[in-house]
């Protein structure tokens, strides 16, 4: 059995005692949060009418996205996979532009051929 040291040097807690204390602290924290949420009202004194009103407010806070209704499957949108007509048109147009630009560019072999031709041209010797 493990023992844990808390505070004073004479007091040790077993693991079971530590777990019980942790649960109590957790319950205390949860209760504080709930009390803050309902602004200090005591839930035990609530009437059925109060509980129903509380549930109605809770339902209003849930967004329509989370609310499941009849025929909801019909309104679920398909996952977009990039195959729309507009996307295909943009891709095709981009490829056509690249092809057009490529036609106007020289390839390496024609670049070197033109460089050789320009070096073979004899310059007039006027001096």
Q: Which of 11-15, 49-53, 54-58, 110-114 has the lowest mean pLDDT?
A: 11-15
pTM of the predicted protein model: 0.28
Instruction: Give the tokens for residue 42.
Output: 């005591």
Half-sphere exposure of 42 (CA within 13 A, CB side): 2
Query: 4 or 122: which carries more pLDDT confidence?
Result: 122
Q: For the residues 81-110, what does the mean pLDDT come to? A: 88
3 state SS of 21: helix
What one-character DSSP code corresponds to residue 13? Answer: E
- Facing residues of 5 across strands? 12
CA distances from 114 to 2, 94, 110 (A): 87, 30, 6
Backbone φ and ψ for 71, nearest 5 degrees, come out as 65, 25
With beta carbons less than 8 A apart as the criterion, state whether 4 and 18 touch.
yes
């Amino acid at each position: 059995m493990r023992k844990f040291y808390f505070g004073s040097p004479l007091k040790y807690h077993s693991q079971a005692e530590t777990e019980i204390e942790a649960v109590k602290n957790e319950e205390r924290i949860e209760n504080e949060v709930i009390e803050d949420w309902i602004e200090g009202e005591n839930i035990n004194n609530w009437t059925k009418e109060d509980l129903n009103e509380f549930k109605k407010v809770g339902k209003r806070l849930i967004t329509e996205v989370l609310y499941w209704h009849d025929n909801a499957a019909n309104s679920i949108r398909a996952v977009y996979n990039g195959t729309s007509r507009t996307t295909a048109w943009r891709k095709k147009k981009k490829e056509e532009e690249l092809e057009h630009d490529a036609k106007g560019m020289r390839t390496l072999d024609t670049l070197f051929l033109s460089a050789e031709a320009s070096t073979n041209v004899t310059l007039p010797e006027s001096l």
